[in-house]
Structure 1
Amino acid sequence: MKKYEAAIIGGGISGLTAAVYLTKAGISTVVIEKGKTLGGRAKTVKKNGAYFNIGAHALYKGGAAEAVLDELGIELSGGVPDTKGRAIWNGSLFSLPASLPSLLSTKLLSLSGKIELGKVMRKLKNLQPASIGERSLRDWAESEMTDPMVRHAFYALCRTSTYCIGPENQQAAIVLDQVQRGMNGVFYIDGGWQSMIDPLKQRAKDFGADIVHQSAVSIKKESGFVISLKNGDIIQVPMVLSTASPEQTFSLVEGAAGTSLDTWRQRVKPIYAACLDVSLRQLPKPNEQFAIGIDQPILFTNQSRASKLSDNGSSVISLIKYLGTDSASNAQADQRELENFLELMQPGWRKELECYQYLPHMTVSNGSCALNGYLPIGPAVPDIPGLYIAGDGAGRSELLADAAFASAKRASALMIQKCANPGMLKEA
């Protein structure tokens, strides 16, 4: 039995990021990953020369992900896509009011609606979201906007930025902070997100991290922690970082009933989406690159317009239907809706189809702090000393990948501090 100072459950974004920080600080670390490959939901699959992420992914400019990657010296190639596109309402295409010229020209809004939306967007640029307090997104929006179509367009922008639906159940401050970040642009990565996972993995290994591809069966608190693996192996460590979901973390830790982990997993709900990705030899309508559904919770984006996602020049298009916390959606109905949306944007797309990927019920986040009732805990679990949590379900004000990176940095900083303090490891 090899002993380590720290064990990390999960080899996705958070797990690999924390592994780099810990091993760089000289802390012997093992990453325990149940899958055959690393990356989790950030993996990229190559199909017929096209690079498919596990659903549409983008990094927010100026977010925690960008900051952490810069700090770790990981450079990514890719591009920031143009937001020129379409708004879809009642099956018809309108100019998306994403800039002053498109706002003036769109027929989606009345003249008074254009003026009102323009005022809202100007206000958003200078708004301090924290000043809003604990109001819901619907409460804030209805106090700021009188035109129903303006509110519809605004809510569509919000769900595109957060992957959340239901403005009455969202915290306005968190959502508007994310919308502001989205106004700075997003970044699509050449080769898909595997181009980010691979250097994270290599950095961790270069600094000495061990990676074990086994499922953890249980985590037992003794003098430190005893981690039992599916193959019968045992790993004993003074510190454990779980980057698994709240439900999975609760299930792994023996004696977690009645602890803060129990409350956390009951309050922090996963966010789902139905995701359709296709690779097309050429676009039937080359000018139709991006669209947001106004009366449908759907996003259409040609990620190839800003990044290299195929070896042969084909276009990789992603569509998302936001499902919120709905754990019982109709997979076939969602698929038809996404395909019909694609047909509206790219008529005859099936004749150009090279490969196809449909993920009917993907977890896009293990919990969003944008939702009312979200319970933030961590990075240290207060009633289980030596146990830490990270992942996109452990965000504070960050969402999605930003939450995964930021929480990993917070957790590893505390773990490094514990190792630097003599006697603290024995106390754990």
Structure 2
Amino acid sequence: MKKYEAAIIGGGISGLTAAVYLAKAGISAVVIEKGKALGGRAKTVKKNGAYFNIGAHALYKGGPAEAVLADLEIELSGGIPDTKGRAIWNGSLFTLPANLSSLISTKLLTLSGKIELGNVMRKLKNLQPASIGKMSLRDWAEAELTDPMVRHAFYALCRTSTYCIGPENQQAAIVLDQVQRGMNGVLYIDGGWQPMVDLLKQKAIDSGAAIVHQSVVSIKKESGFVITLKNGDRIQVPKVLSTASPEQTFSLTEGAAGTSLDTWRQRVKPIYAACLDVSLRQLPSPGEQFAIGIDQPILLTNQSRAAKISENGSSVISLIKYLGTEEASNAASDQKELENVLELMQPGWRKELEGYQYLPHIAVSNGSCALNDYFPLGPAVPDIPGLYIAGDGAGRSELLADAAFASAKRAAAAIIQQSANPVMVKEA
């Protein structure tokens, strides 16, 4: 039986981040990843010279993810895209009201609507979201906004920032905090997210972490924990950190029924999306590079306008349709809807097509603390001593990649604190 001081279930960005912190603190750690490659949903695939992420990805400037990467001395190259773009309403394109000049020029809003949207955006810049208290996003918006079209535009902005739909089911404070973060801009990474995964992997290995590519069959509490792998190997550790989804973590952990882990997996639901990525030799409409659906939960972005996402100069366009927590969707219908938006923005795109990737129903997050019924848990699971959780389903006020990185740092800090001769990690 192999022995380590800590085992990390999952080799995505959360697992690798935690591995770096633990190994740097002198704790013998092993990352157990069921796939052949590390990265999870942060992996990037190469098709005809273009780099496709698993869905549209971006790092929020000034957010917890950027702070953790800086802490680990991981430098990424890329660029910040401008927000010049289009609003899609009733099948037509309008100027997206993203700044003062575009707000003035857009025909999407009436004059009074422009004034109202301008006022609420100014208010958002100085707002302390925590002061809002327990209020749904819809209640906040209806109290602040009277123009129906302004509300539609505002909800579209919130969708884009959180990947969540249904303002009546979202916490206003957390959503608005994320919207504020989005105002700082996002980073598109050269080469997709794979370079970030590769740097985290190398940092973990260089720091002394081990990596095993095997599926976990069970996690059993037994003089610490015994982890049984699919190939029959067993690993004994006093501490386990799971970065798997709530449902997977619950299923793997023996005796988890009736614990807080059980409540967590029942309450924290995956957030789904349909994602379409294409690479085009050249853009039929070079000026149309970014669009937000106002009456459709859709986003289109040309990531190549800010980062090098291909080896041959082609443009990589990503589209995402937000599906919320729905476990089923109409894949063909969603695909057609996304292609129609692409045709609206880039008419004749099929003649320039080099690469195509459609992911009809993927979990873009294992849970969002923006949802009203979110159950916070972690980093420690209190009724299963020695078990910890991290990942984008273990956020506090962070969402998406920010939640993945921040929760990994919190979990590593908690494990280090409970270990002999700890080297402390400043909490995220």
**What TM-score results when the alignment is normalised by the length of structure 1?**
0.98
Written as runs of structure 1 = structure 2, the 5 A alignment for 1:109-128 is 109-128=109-128
Q: How far apart, in 2, do the equivalents of 1:265 and 1:105 lie?
A: 47
Aligned residue pairs, count: 422
Summarize deviations over 1:174-201 as a string: whole Å, max 9, x none: 0000000000000000000001000100
Paired residue type of 1:38: L
State the partner residue of 1:388: 388
Written as runs of structure 1 = structure 2, the 5 A alignment for 1:165-244 is 165-244=165-244
Summarize deviations over 1:286-325 as a string: whole Å, max 9, x none: 0001000000000000000000000000000000000000
Paired residue type of 2:322: Y
State the partner residue of 2:83: 83
Q: How far apart, in 2, do the equivalents of 1:187 and 1:377 lie?
A: 29
Q: How far apart, in 1, do the equivalents of 2:383 and 2:326 lie?
A: 31
Give secondary structure in 1 for the equivalent of 2:180.
Answer: helix
Q: How far apart, in 2, do the equivalents of 1:209 and 1:385 lie?
A: 23
Task: Give the superposition deviation at 1:421.
Answer: 5.9
Summarize deviations over 1:25-69 as a string: whole Å, max 9, x none: 010010000000000000000111000000110000010000000
Paired residue type of 1:173: A
State the partner residue of 1:271: 271
Give secondary structure in 2 for the equivalent of 1:419.
Answer: coil
Q: How far apart, in 2, do the equivalents of 1:3 and 1:130 lie?
A: 44
Paired residue type of 2:205: K
Q: How far apart, in 2, do the equivalents of 1:328 and 1:197 lie?
A: 30
State the partner residue of 2:340: 340
Paired residue type of 2:121: M
CA, structure 1 residues 130+398, in 2 after alignment: closer, same or farther (shift >3 Å)?
same
Give secondary structure in 1 for the equivalent of 2:235.
Answer: strand
Report runs of 4+ in structure 1 exceeding 3 Å deviation: none
Tell me, yes or no, if structure 1 residue 41 matches structure 2 residue 57: no
Task: Give the superposition deviation at 1:223.
Answer: 1.1
Give secondary structure in 2 for the equivalent of 1:296.
Answer: coil
Give secondary structure in 2 for the equivalent of 1:103.
Answer: helix
Give secondary structure in 2 for the equivalent of 1:286.
Answer: coil
Q: How far apart, in 2, do the equivalents of 1:248 and 1:284 lie?
A: 44
Give secondary structure in 1 for the equivalent of 2:177.
Answer: helix
State the partner residue of 1:155: 155
Q: How far apart, in 2, do the equivalents of 1:129 and 1:414 lie?
A: 27
Tell me, yes or no, if structure 1 residue 322 matches structure 2 residue 322: yes
**What TM-score results when the alignment is normalised by the length of structure 2?**
0.98
Paired residue type of 2:148: P
Give secondary structure in 1 for the equivalent of 2:354.
Answer: strand
| Runs of 5+ consecutive residues of structure 2 not aligned to the other structure | 423-428
Task: Give the superposition deviation at 1:222.
Answer: 1.1
Give secondary structure in 2 for the equivalent of 1:102.
Answer: helix
Q: How far apart, in 2, do the equivalents of 1:399 and 1:88 lie?
A: 26
Paired residue type of 1:339: E
Tell me, yes or no, if structure 1 residue 308 matches structure 2 residue 305: no
State the partner residue of 1:256: 256
| Runs of 5+ consecutive residues of structure 1 not aligned to the other structure | 423-428
State the partner residue of 1:365: 365
Q: How far apart, in 2, do the equivalents of 1:168 and 1:76 lie?
A: 37
Q: How far apart, in 2, do the equivalents of 1:236 and 1:249 lie?
A: 17
State the partner residue of 2:354: 354
Paired residue type of 1:52: F
State the partner residue of 2:425: none
Task: Give the superposition deviation at 1:207.
Answer: 1.1
State the partner residue of 2:102: 102
Give secondary structure in 2 for the equivalent of 1:276.
Answer: strand
State the partner residue of 1:425: none
Q: How far apart, in 2, do the equivalents of 1:420 and 1:223 lie?
A: 17
Paired residue type of 2:279: S
Give secondary structure in 1 for the equivalent of 2:418.
Answer: helix
Summarize deviations over 1:245-298 as a string: whole Å, max 9, x none: 000000000000000000000000000000000000000000001000000000
Paired residue type of 2:223: S
Give secondary structure in 1 for the equivalent of 2:3.
Answer: coil
